[in-house]
C-alpha cells in the first residue's frame, strides 16, 4: 500500500487490478459449483468473489463474510482451498450456505442420485400427503391455502416427505434444498402457477443440476485441499467475542455484500399471488423466520437518515475489524438508494469502525476513483425505471486503520448501541 496525494493505493500489479475490475463488472449469469442451489436475493457474482479471493488471499488463509447471505463467498473460498467463516442473522441464509458448502462422499452422492431418479414418482395428488402441522399452525403456509393452489401445496409436502426419508441430516438438508429451489421456481414472483407435471419435471432437473454442482465442488476440494467452513447464525456485532471464532486466525480477506442502505430487498419472503409475502421458504428449510424485513436489513429504510442502519453497520464492521490485522483486506460490494449522501455517511461509518479506505491505481482517472458496476437485472431493482442511483453498485476497499483512544471508545459504544439481537449457532461443513 502506498500514498499519493490524499489517497492510499493498494500495491497491486496492473494485471491483478484488471482481473479484479473485470470480475466485479462481469454480468454473466450465476453458475458453477453449488451456486445454483437457491436464488438468494441480491446475491453477488461468484466470479467477483473468486477474483477477490485469488487477489487478496493464499491457500489456507481465512476468508470471512459477515453478511453471508446465499454463501457465495464461502463456496468460492472452500473451492479455492481457503478456510471460510460466514455470519448471517437469517436462519434461511444459514441453511442455504451450509448446504452449499457440504462436501458429500461418493457414496452419499450415489444415494442422492438414486433418490433424485425416483423423486418425480413421489408426486401424486391422488395419494395422501404429510402436512407439517406445526408450521401450518404458525402460518408458514400463508397464501397457499387458496383452493387453486392445493395441488401445488400437496406436491411440495410430498417432495419434502421424500427428502426427510433420506435420514442422514446432511442428505435431508440437500433434499430440502432441492424442494426449496423448485418451490421458489414454482411460486416466487410468478403470475401463473405451473402444472403438476411441470413441477415434477423441475424437481428432477434441479436435483440433477444440484448433484452436478456437488460433484464439481467435491472435485475442487480434492484438488485444492479441504479446509474448515464455519457458518454462524448471529448478528456480526460482537463477533470477536464468539467462542466459535476464538481459535481462528485473523482473516486475510473480508469480502461481503451487506444490506444496501435505503434499498428495499425482500430477503425473507417469497412473493406469491400478485406480491403477497409468503414465509414458506423457512418451512421448507425446517427453520423459523425472524421479526420482519428490518430484522434482515439492519433497520427500517424509512427511519430518518437511516440512523439505525448506520449504527448497526458501524457496530458490525467494528467487530469485524477487531478480528482483523494489518494484512487484512476488506472488500465490500453495495448499492445506495441515494448515493450522494449515503455513500459519504457509509464511508464515515467505516472510518469510525476503524477502517481506512484504499483505492486501485488503475482507476485513478475514472470517475471518483472507485470501482462501480451496473446492476445486471436484480429483482429488487426490476420495478425501477431508468438508471436510478440504486441501479449501480460500488466495490469499496479498506484496510485496518490506526485508531486513536477516542475511536477505540467509540467502537466499544457502537457495539452496545445496536438494536439487533445477538444469537449464535455453528454449523461446520
Which pLDDT tens digit goes with each residue over 210-266?
Answer: 999 999 999 999 999 999 999 999 999 999 999 999 889 999 999 999 989 888 777
Domain ranges within the chain, ordered by starting residue: 2-99+226-263+301-428, 106-221
Average pLDDT of 304-326?
92
Tell me which of 77-81, 208-212, 218-222, 363-367 is least confident: 363-367
Q: Are 315 and 66 in contact (CB under 8 A)?
A: no
In this prediction, residue 155 carries a pLDDT of: 95
> Residues 369-413: pLDDT tens digits?
999 998 765 554 444 334 444 578 999 999 999 865 555 565 555
In this prediction, residue 271 carries a pLDDT of: 86
Q: Which residues of 359-385 are buried (b: 16+ CB within 10 A; e: fewer)?
A: bbbbbeeeeeebbbbebeebebbeeee
Average pLDDT of 197-220?
97
User: How confident is residue 32, by pLDDT bands cut at 50, 70 and 90?
Assistant: very high
- pLDDT surpasses 90 at 124: yes
Whole-model pTM? 0.89
Average pLDDT of 129-137?
85
Higher-scoring residue by pLDDT: 291, 87: 87
Closest C-alpha among 93, 61, 329 to residue 231: 93
> Residues 373-382: pLDDT tens digits?
987 655 544 4
In this prediction, residue 403 carries a pLDDT of: 60
CATH pick for 2-99+226-263+301-428 out of 2.60.40.420, 3.40.50.10420, 3.40.50.150, 1.10.260.40: 3.40.50.150
Q: Which residues of 295-320 are buried (b: 16+ CB within 10 A; e: fewer)?
A: bbbbbebeeeebebbbbbbbbbbbbb
Higher-scoring residue by pLDDT: 273, 357: 357
Q: Are 170 and 143 in contact (CB under 8 A)?
A: no
Average pLDDT, the chain: 87
Amino acid at each position: 500500500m502506498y500514498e499519493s496525494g490524499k489517497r492510499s493505493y493498494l500495491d497491486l500489479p496492473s494485471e491483478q487490478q484488471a482481473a479484479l475490475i473485470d470480475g466485479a463488472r462481469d454480468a454473466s449469469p450465476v453458475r458453477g459449483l453449488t451456486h445454483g442451489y437457491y436464488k438468494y436475493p441480491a446475491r453477488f457474482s461468484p466470479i467477483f468473489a473468486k477474483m477477490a479471493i485469488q487477489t487478496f488471499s493464499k491457500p489456507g488463509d481465512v476468508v470471512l463474510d459477515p453478511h453471508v447471505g446465499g454463501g457465495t463467498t464461502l463456496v468460492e473460498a472452500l473451492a479455492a482451498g481457503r478456510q471460510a467463516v460466514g455470519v448471517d442473522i437469517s436462519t434461511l441464509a444459514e441453511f442455504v450456505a451450509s448446504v452449499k458448502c457440504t462436501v458429500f462422499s461418493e457414496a452419499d452422492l450415489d444415494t442422492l442420485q438414486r433418490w433424485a431418479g425416483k423423486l418425480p414418482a413421489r408426486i401424486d395428488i391422488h395419494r395422501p400427503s404429510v402436512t407439517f402441522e406445526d408450521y401450518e399452525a404458525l402460518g408458514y403456509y400463508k397464501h397457499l391455502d387458496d383452493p387453486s393452489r392445493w395441488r401445488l401445496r400437496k406436491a411440495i409436502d410430498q417432495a419434502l416427505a421424500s427428502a426427510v426419508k433420506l435420514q442422514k441430516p446432511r442428505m435431508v438438508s440437500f433434499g430440502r434444498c432441492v424442494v426449496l429451489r423448485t418451490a421458489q421456481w414454482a411460486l416466487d414472483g410468478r403470475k401463473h402457477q405451473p402444472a403438476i407435471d411441470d413441477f415434477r419435471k423441475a424437481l428432477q432437473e434441479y436435483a440433477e443440476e444440484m448433484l452436478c454442482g456437488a460433484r464439481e465442488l467435491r472435485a475442487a476440494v480434492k484438488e485444492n485441499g479441504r479446509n474448515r467452513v464455519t457458518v454462524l447464525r448471529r448478528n456480526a456485532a460482537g463477533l470477536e467475542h464468539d467462542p466459535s471464532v476464538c481459535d481462528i486466525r485473523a482473516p486475510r480477506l473480508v469480502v461481503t455484500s451487506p444490506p444496501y442502505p435505503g434499498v428495499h430487498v425482500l430477503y425473507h419472503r417469497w412473493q406469491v399471488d400478485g406480491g403477497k409475502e409468503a414465509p414458506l421458504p423457512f418451512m421448507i428449510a425446517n427453520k423459523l423466520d425472524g421479526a420482519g424485513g428490518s430484522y434482515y436489513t439492519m433497520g427500517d429504510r424509512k427511519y430518518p437518515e437511516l440512523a439505525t442502519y448506520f449504527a448497526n453497520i458501524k457496530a458490525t464492521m467494528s467487530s469485524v475489524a477487531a478480528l482483523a490485522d494489518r494484512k487484512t483486506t476488506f472488500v465490500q460490494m453495495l448499492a445506495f438508494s441515494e448515493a450522494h449522501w449515503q455513500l459519504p455517511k457509509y464511508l464515515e461509518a467505516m472510518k469510525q469502525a476503524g477502517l481506512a479506505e484504499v483505492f486501485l491505481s488503475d482507476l485513478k482517472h475514472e470517475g471518483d476513483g472507485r470501482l462501480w458496476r451496473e446492476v445486471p437485472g436484480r429483482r429488487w431493482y426490476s420495478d425501477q425505471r431508468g438508471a436510478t442511483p440504486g441501479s449501480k453498485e460500488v466495490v469499496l476497499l479498506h484496510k485496518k486503520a490506526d485508531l486513536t483512544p477516542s475511536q477505540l471508545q467509540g467502537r466499544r459504544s457502537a457495539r452496545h448501541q445496536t438494536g439487533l439481537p445477538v444469537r449464535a449457532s455453528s454449523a461446520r461443513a
